[in-house]
Amino acid sequence: MPQLGVGVWQVPNEDTATVVTESIKIGYRLIDGAAAYGNEEGLGQGLRESGQLREQLFVTSKLWNGDQGHDAALKAFDKTMERLGLDYLDLYLIHWPMPSVDLYVDSWKALIRLRQEGRVRSIGVANFQEPHLRRLIDETGEVPALNQIEVHPTLTQTEMRQADRKLGIVTQSWTPLGRGDFSLPQVASIAERLDCTPAQVVLRWHLQHGLSVIPKSERPERLNENFHCLDIELSMADMEALDALDQGNRTGPDPDTFDKR
């Protein structure tokens, strides 16, 4: 899996193909989608129109909350693949644990089956806390390949990242720029010194922490700027300055209570 990718959250379905083809043209090979985003048709169209060989792309989608449960998850996967027009997925995730509903273990068993059947190459989760992860592993013996969680400089999630690492799970950052983390004066100062954009500084912070990161943009110039975070390097002092911005500033739902379907 490429460490840097692009997400299509909140991209209208009619614009998603263009965003995907432009992203692939720039050099992105990891495309992160989800059934809940309502644009899997556009994502699949963009993949086909890009002209890139399928085996050179890494495509992710996610099981939505209302489709949790073993049999429901299998049916939902079929619908996702029909919308995408693909023969297999590189990664399929449970989007949220929804502990109050308590179907995530059954859903995980469905994902294990899909991987065993060769329809998915890797399986993982999103927004799972350590107790959720340990329960999956204890009850099935299968460790998620990846846990996609909200991470940015004002929500560093140090403990959760350490838990993932201890369990052998890759952490992937969603909302990697936070809600304006890139506009903080500490970030702007580093960007000025390195002659790059503040967003590039924040994305590079994720990469140097060993995180996979999937920024989202619909603008070609911003997609290009984000990709070129690969061209800069932060010093240890820069990393420590950004780490110090942590405020526990969660912008999305709490994984322990979120159960929207």
Q: At CA 33, angle to CA 32 and CA 34, rounded to 5?
A: 140
The CB-based long-range contact list for 74-80 (8 Å cut-off, 24+ gap) reads 74/110, 74/113, 74/114, 76/35, 77/110, 77/114, 77/119, 77/120, 79/35, 80/35, 80/40
Q: Is 88 a catalytic residue?
A: no
Asked if residue 177 lies in contact with residue 205, where contact means CB atoms within 8 angstroms, the answer is no
What HEC string does 147-207 produce? EEEECECCECCHHHHHHHHHHCCEEEEECCCCCCHHHCHHHHHHHHHHCCCHHHHHHHHHH
The tokens describing 145, both together, are 């390949």
Asked whether 154 and 247 are in contact (CB, 8 A), the reply is: yes
Of 28, 37, 92, 104, which residue is the catalytic one? 37
CA–CA separation, 212 and 1 (whole Å)? 9
d(CA 149, CA 213): 10
Active centre residues (catalytic):
37
